[in-house]
């Protein structure tokens, strides 16, 4: 089945948002999506976008059961390593279950890597859940290192009340 990986447009945001919610369900955190597709549009398609996004598209004759032709996406942003300089973080990589096993996921990942190289990024990083064995195997097979397993890195988060409390403790200028 032919498919195409291309840069997302503002008009793709409804579809990307649909798939963001599908991915949250897969990650067993369905009630965690608090943004809207309009916020996606304003954050990603403005003068200084907060992220970049690629989508996978199939021809009309191969559309999904519900009629969708945008069947996967990779959403990323640039980060900074004080050791290596500019880097890229792949925040989401998703292919609708109906379209898996055809190389779409690996094509999105490779295209994102190509973007990283074009932008002279020293690294491409992402996070994966430890129980998600197919994804962990997928990345390992492509030569990635698991820095949590190998070096002991842990991801730490402040949000909601803990973030407010921390900010309120800041010294006054």
Q: Active-site residue numbers?
A: 139
The whole-angstrom separation of Cα 76 and Cα 54 is 9
Which residue lies nearer to a copy of itself by CB, 24 or 68?
Answer: 24
Q: What is the Cα Rg of the chain in Å?
A: 18
The three-class DSSP label of residue 94 is strand
Residues 8-27 interacting with a copy of itself (rule: CB under 8 A): 20, 23-24
Binding residues among 28-47 for a copy of itself as defined by CB under 8 A = 29, 32-35, 39-40, 43
Instruction: Report, in Å, the least distance between residue 64 CB and a copy of itself.
Output: 20
Residue 109 binds a copy of itself (CB under 8 A): yes
Please give the backbone phi and psi of residue 115, each rounded to the nearest 5 degrees, phi first: -60, -45
Q: Is 77 in the site for a copy of itself (CB under 8 A)?
A: yes
* Displacement of CA 170 from its chain's centroid (Å): 32
Among 1, 97, 129, 137, binds a copy of itself (CB under 8 A): 129
What's the farthest any 2 CA atoms get from each other in the chain? 62
Residue 92, classed as helix, strand or coil, is strand
- Only one residue has tokens 């962990």, namely 136
Distance of CA 41 to the CA centre of its chain: 16
Rounded to a whole number of angstroms, the minimum distance from the CB of residue 140 to a copy of itself is 9
Strands 70-81, 52-57: pairing is antiparallel
Nearer to a copy of itself, 63 or 86 (CB): 86
Among 50, 59, 62, 133, binds a copy of itself (CB under 8 A): 50
Provide the minimum distance between the beta carbon of 65 and a copy of itself in the complex, in angstroms, as a whole number. Answer: 24
Candidate list 1, 14, 26, 81; residue touching a copy of itself; CB under 8 A: 81
Q: Is 116 in the site for a copy of itself (CB under 8 A)?
A: yes
């Amino acid at each position: 089945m032919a498919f195409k990986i291309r840069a997302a447009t503002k008009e793709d945001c409804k579809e990307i948002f649909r798939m963001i919610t599908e991915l949250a369900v897969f990650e067993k955190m369905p009630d965690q999506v608090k943004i809207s597709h309009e916020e996606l549009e304003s954050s990603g398609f403005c003068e200084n976008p907060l992220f970049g996004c690629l989508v996978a598209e199939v021809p009309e004759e191969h559309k999904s059961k519900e009629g969708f032709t945008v069947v996967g996406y990779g959403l990323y942003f640039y980060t900074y390593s004080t050791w290596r300089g500019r880097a890229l973080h792949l925040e989401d990589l998703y292919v609708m279950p109906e379209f898996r096993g055809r190389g779409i996921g690996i094509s999105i990942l490779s295209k994102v890597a190509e973007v990283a190289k074009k932008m002279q990024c020293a690294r491409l990083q992402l996070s994966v859940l430890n129980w998600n064995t197919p994804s962990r195997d997928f990345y390992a097979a492509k030569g990635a290192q698991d820095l949590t397993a190998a070096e002991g890195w842990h991801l730490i988060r402040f949000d909601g009340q803990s973030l407010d409390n921390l900010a309120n403790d800041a010294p006054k200028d």
